[in-house]
Amino acid sequence: MTPKVRLHLDQPLAPGQLLAPDRDQANYLFAVMRLAPGDLILAFNGRDGEWVAEVTQASKRGGALVVREQTRPVQLPPDLWLLFAPIKKARTDFIVEKATEMGAARILPVQTDFTNSERLRQDRLQAHALEAAEQCGGTYVPEVADLQPLAKLLASWDPARRILWCDEARVGSVHSLKGLERGPWAILIGPEGGFSPAEQAKLAAFPFVTPVSLGPRILRADTAAVAALSLWQAELGDWAGA
């Protein structure tokens, strides 16, 4: 029987381990998906890989499962962070979902001079990352950090982690990343209004920042995030091979 449900459960996964879904998960499994004892699901927790688990009790308020066998070990993403200035709610959700699907290890919303959004529901964005991992077959869920000022983040930045700065002022030919060293990186995407002159000057002065163009057209922030992640993964990440 091929499992038709894939679920993140923040519980240890090992052969014979008993699992207790929370109330919302139980409602989804047994009321929405109508699973019954003997049915199988795929479970992952972001640490122990992906496992087959069998339903042993079915209740809309609880239920239970037992872990049977591992289907895949955990696949960690490359050491890549995404820094982005939040935009409209649906498009911010899109950025978090696509960053998860494309293998960002950590997602950090940042407040810039021209950022329109001053508040974020970190728990809601974390839930979007979790759901994206469930849907895309990932075995790892990136942390979505709380919103913080870009200036504060840069003030304590470890220079060993390079920043790929997607600078809309450099619109033109796509920059090749060939020749850049692999290792810890972060991608920085600005707000809809771009970076302020003060921010541009500060970023340009950091030796660990590499400015790039994403092509001949100015991209929306959510499109730029996907384009930059694709560019980095193809040259320096786990799309590029050894």
Coil, helix or strand for 71?
strand
Distance between CA atoms of residues 100 and 96, nearest Å: 6
Query: Do residues 63 and 161 both lie within one domain?
Result: no
| 13: in domain | yes
Residue 241 resides in a domain? no
**How many Å is the Cα radius of gyration of the chain?**
20
Domain of 167: which CATH number? Answer: 3.40.1280.10
Q: Strand (E) positions, 113-213?
A: 143-144, 148-149, 162-166, 185-189, 209-212
pLDDT digits (tens, 9 = 90+) for 112-141: 999 877 678 999 999 999 999 999 999 999
Rounded distance between C-alpha atoms, residue 148 and residue 150, angstroms: 6
Task: Note the helical H segments in 165-236.
Answer: 197-205, 221-236
Count the domains in the chain.
2
Q: Is residue 199 part of a domain?
A: yes
| Residue 1 is assigned to a structural domain of this protein | no
Q: Do 96 and 128 reside in the same domain of the chain?
A: yes
Residues 125, 16 share a domain: no
pTM (2 d.p.): 0.92
Q: Which of 53, 72, 91 is the last residue of a domain?
A: 72
What type of residue is 93?
D
**Does 224 share its domain with 186?**
yes
Parallel/antiparallel/unpaired status of strands 185-189 and 80-84: parallel
Q: Which helix or strand (DSSP H or E) is residue 128 part of?
A: helix 122-136
Give the tens place of pLDDT for each residue, 171-202: 877 777 888 999 999 999 999 888 999 999 99
Per residue in 41-51, pLDDT tens?
999 999 999 99
Residue at a domain's end among 21, 51, 72: 72
Q: Which of 72, 107, 128 is the last residue of a domain?
A: 72
- pLDDT tens, residue by residue, 81-120: 999 999 988 999 999 999 999 999 999 999 999 987 767 8
Domain that holds residue 22: 6-72
